[in-house]
Amino acid sequence: MSDDHHTLERIRPSAATGVAVIDEQLRTMPSGPGVYRMLDRRGDALYVGKAKNLKKRVGSYVRLDRLPGRLQRMVADTASMEVIVTHTEVEALLLESNLIKRLAPRYNILLRDDKSFPYILITGGDDWPQIVKHRGARSRKGRYFGPFASAAAVNQTLSHLQRAFLLRSCSDAVFSGRTRPCLLYQIKRCSAPCVGRITREDYGTLVDEARSFLSGGSQRIQRELAVRMEAASQAMDFESAAVYRDRLRALARVQAHQDINLPRVEEADVVALHQAGGQACIQVFFFRSGCNYGNRAYFPAHTQNEEPGEIVAAFLGQFYEDKQPPRLVLVSEQPAEAELLAEALAVRAGYRVTIARPLRGDRRKIVDLALNNAREALGRRMAESASQRRLLEEVQTVFGLEAPPDRIEVYDNSHISGSDAVGAMVVAGPEGLAKASYRKFNIRAAELAPGDDYGMMREVLTRRFRRAQKEDPDRERGMWPDLVLIDGGVGQLNVACQVFADLGVDDVALAAISKGPDRDAGREQFHLPNRPAFSLDPKSPVLYFLQRLRDEAHRFAIGSHRARRSKGLGQSTLDDVPGVGPRRKRALLHHFGSAREVAGAGLADLESVEGISRALAKKIYDHFHSGG
């Protein structure tokens, strides 16, 4: 017997009143578009819905056996109804989103979003415009650029822009009262217009350049600065050349993380949904003026057992209820009634809005990246939530432990053909991920064959537990785990068992997690000493928790490996890059300002440098960024 049937049997006796209320409303219910509200005995909203045909849509609620359990409970709680008739279905959708956000009914999918987005504002209407961070209503005159996903993202960008364009950030009151330059002038983040260190005409040029850069003209501005730097250098005006060099470096830092980009797309939001363990996460990436302005994770409520398309549709309707939508919204899941939703967003924005689910190409890659971020964010949330203790109790059951583990250690390795090999250990416990306890192990054994994962795991575990035996022999300092989880299969598990046997460690549980058939997530196999391999229910929260721990170990191992590798790469110069001779080296330095900024540049930025072909740009990028 299904869960919905059991729910119906429990609810049916108490649902009679709710069904009667709905039947009474149906007698006078119009057949046109509108919005309806289900209310409880106190008059609070239980559910808000919209319909193209109110009578038909509301009439579906009296057939309890066709409703999911959530809506059956909603009908049982309904004491009254309110109906608002609208002229069009689009108007009904807009009103529905507004009411859901304002009333937060407990049976609707809800977006919990209480933060406004920060923008960068270049003020207008005065002779000496400011460049500042802005939140809230756009009541000040000027050009707004954004939204940025976080205050950290806008603060970092603003700092680099101040160095690049030397615009003032002080208030008008401070500006008018200055008699000498402030500290920002001394550290080359302002041109000191307050005390006449720059002419009005030259300051206006800086303002125009900043607006152009933030509007997508970054390549042109960088080329112009490179030309000026070269001219100043040729004229032996090295002080001016150094200023241009510093400005180029600042602009390069603004774009240092622009490998996450959308070619040929000026303005878009990327919205990706991941569901697991009865919860959902939606990750949003913001692209404006051809630049990535960061991303933010959202965790809508009441999404358990909801279809992906319904969740995405509810999210988009509520998310853009008080925000200006971009012209393009890329989604991982096709939202319910996508055409109607796009029309509603267009009405709100005043221009055409396209909602698209790309299946291939660069746009699909960006959606997949957002989807991976959603998966990671949900994993972190679940791992660090109040349900942690319950998950640890399930881990106890799965692995046959004597008690819920207080400390789980997970191990993984990372390398490229054996070079710069690093082992990694991550730790989790009742408080979630214990990042202060993470450890990395630079592989030392010179006799290991390249790519010997077994040998690397043997060295890591030996070093780890020899140290524990030496520094915490009485196990009073919390250095000993209750469970060790290895990323790997039977071979890695056997290595761990041998290390424990050699060291005389016989009271720490060991397990390994390996990818299942076709390496599909959800089909992982678990390996325990002297037991057949087994799998868990793909929908099990404890499986998702263990996947998250395995993925965190993998992430930390790769990050540690890249850090070790980049330490050596950072000592390289452009002379070490095959195919980069004096002329191309000069072009790169003119464009980016320094070899360090070239090393941090994105592929698209490298391709834009004169004389750098697509193939050479890829070679330069790989030289500085390749990692396991």
* Residue 472 to residue 466: CA distance in whole angstroms: 10
* Residue 284 to residue 447: CA distance in whole angstroms: 47
Is residue 154 situated within a structural domain?
Answer: no
The continuous run of DSSP H or E covering 501 comes out as helix 490-503
Burial grade of 63 (CB within 10 A; 0-12, 13-18, 19 or more) = exposed
pLDDT of residue 573: 54
Is residue 66 situated within a structural domain?
Answer: yes
Q: Is 33 helix (H, G, I), strand (E, B) or coil?
A: coil
Is residue 220 situated within a structural domain?
Answer: no
Dihedral class, residue 126 (left if φ above 0, else alpha if ψ from -120 to 50, else beta): beta
User: Taking CA 145 as the corner, what is the angle to CA 141 and CA 148, rounded to the nearest 5 degrees?
Assistant: 130
pLDDT greater than 50 at residue 270: yes
Is residue 535 situated within a structural domain?
Answer: yes
CA-only gyration radius of the chain, Å: 30
* Residue 277 to residue 262: CA distance in whole angstroms: 32
- Tens of pLDDT, residues 446-499: 676 766 889 889 999 999 999 988 888 777 778 899 999 999 999 999 999 999
Judge if 467 and 522 occupy the same domain: yes
Judge if 457 and 512 occupy the same domain: yes
Judge if 401 and 362 occupy the same domain: no
Please give the structure tokens belonging to residue 486.
């290895």
Q: Predicted confidence band at 72 (pLDDT cuts at 50, 70, 90)?
A: confident
Is residue 125 situated within a structural domain?
Answer: no
Q: Predicted confidence band at 145 (pLDDT cuts at 50, 70, 90)?
A: confident
3 state SS for 309-350: HHHHHHHHHHHCCCCCCCCEEEECCCCCCHHHHHHHHHHHHC
The DSSP symbol for 87 reads S
Judge if 450 and 354 occupy the same domain: no
In angstroms, the Cα distances linking 605 to 161, 223, 362 are: 18, 12, 16
Please give the structure tokens belonging to residue 483.
């469970």
Judge if 501 and 480 occupy the same domain: yes
Q: Predicted confidence band at 608 (pLDDT cuts at 50, 70, 90)?
A: confident
Is residue 88 situated within a structural domain?
Answer: yes
Within 10 angstroms of residue 337's Cβ, the number of other Cβ atoms is 18
Judge if 345 and 469 occupy the same domain: no
Share above pLDDT 90 across residues of the chain, in percent, rounded to a whole number: 34
The rounded Cα 559 to chain-centroid distance in angstroms is 17
Pairing mode, strands 291-298 and 131-134? unpaired
Judge if 372 and 422 occupy the same domain: no
pLDDT greater than 70 at residue 8: no
Last residue of a domain, one of 511, 539, 566: 566
- Tens of pLDDT, residues 156-191: 788 888 888 889 988 888 888 888 888 888 888 899
- Tens of pLDDT, residues 343-364: 999 998 899 999 999 999 889 9
User: In CATH, what number is assigned to the domain containing residue 452?
Assistant: 3.30.420.340
pLDDT of residue 571: 46
pLDDT greater than 70 at residue 563: no
Last residue of a domain, one of 383, 417, 441: 383
Cα-flanking dihedrals φ and ψ of residue 439, to 5°? -140, 145
pLDDT of residue 572: 44
Judge if 376 and 417 occupy the same domain: no
* Residue 229 to residue 244: CA distance in whole angstroms: 5
Is residue 179 situated within a structural domain?
Answer: no
pLDDT greater than 80 at residue 390: yes
* Residue 94 to residue 99: CA distance in whole angstroms: 9
- Tens of pLDDT, residues 213-234: 777 666 777 788 888 888 888 8
Is residue 609 situated within a structural domain?
Answer: no
The residue among 193, 37, 191 whose CA lies nearest residue 100 is: 37
Q: Is 78 helix (H, G, I), strand (E, B) or coil?
A: coil
Please give the structure tokens belonging to residue 318.
């509520």
Dihedral class, residue 493 (left if φ above 0, else alpha if ψ from -120 to 50, else beta): alpha
pLDDT of residue 626: 60
pLDDT greater than 70 at residue 283: yes
Greater confidence (553 vs 255) lies with: 553
The residue among 392, 389, 449 whose CA lies nearest residue 419 is: 449
The residue among 410, 562, 415 whose CA lies nearest residue 496 is: 410
pLDDT greater than 70 at residue 317: yes
Pairing mode, strands 354-356 and 408-416? unpaired
Judge if 407 and 344 occupy the same domain: no
Please give the structure tokens belonging to residue 455.
């040998």
Share above pLDDT 70 across residues of the chain, in percent, rounded to a whole number: 88
Judge if 368 and 405 occupy the same domain: no
Cα-flanking dihedrals φ and ψ of residue 289, to 5°? 55, 35
pLDDT, average across residues 39-45: 88
pLDDT of residue 115: 66
pLDDT of residue 480: 93
Task: Check: CB of residue 433 under 8 Å from CB of residue 552.
Answer: yes
Range of the domain at 473: 388-566
Judge if 397 and 482 occupy the same domain: yes
User: In CATH, what number is assigned to the domain containing residue 286?
Assistant: 3.30.420.10
The answer to whether the bond into 147 is cis (omega within 30° of 0) is yes
Q: What angle, rounded to 10 degrees, do the helices at 3-26 and 69-77 form?
A: 40
CA atoms within 13 A on the CB side of 427: 17
Q: Predicted confidence band at 603 (pLDDT cuts at 50, 70, 90)?
A: confident
pLDDT of residue 128: 92
Please give the structure tokens belonging to residue 198.
């720059």
Q: How many helices (H) and strands (E) does the chain have?
A: 21, 18
Judge if 405 and 502 occupy the same domain: yes
The residue among 348, 339, 302, 296 whose CA lies nearest residue 321 is: 348
Say how many domains are in the chain.
3
Q: Look at the alpha carbons of 596, 602, 603, 607 in this order and tell me if their dihedral is positive or negative.
A: negative
Last residue of a domain, one of 103, 135, 167: 103
Pairing mode, strands 34-39 and 45-51? antiparallel
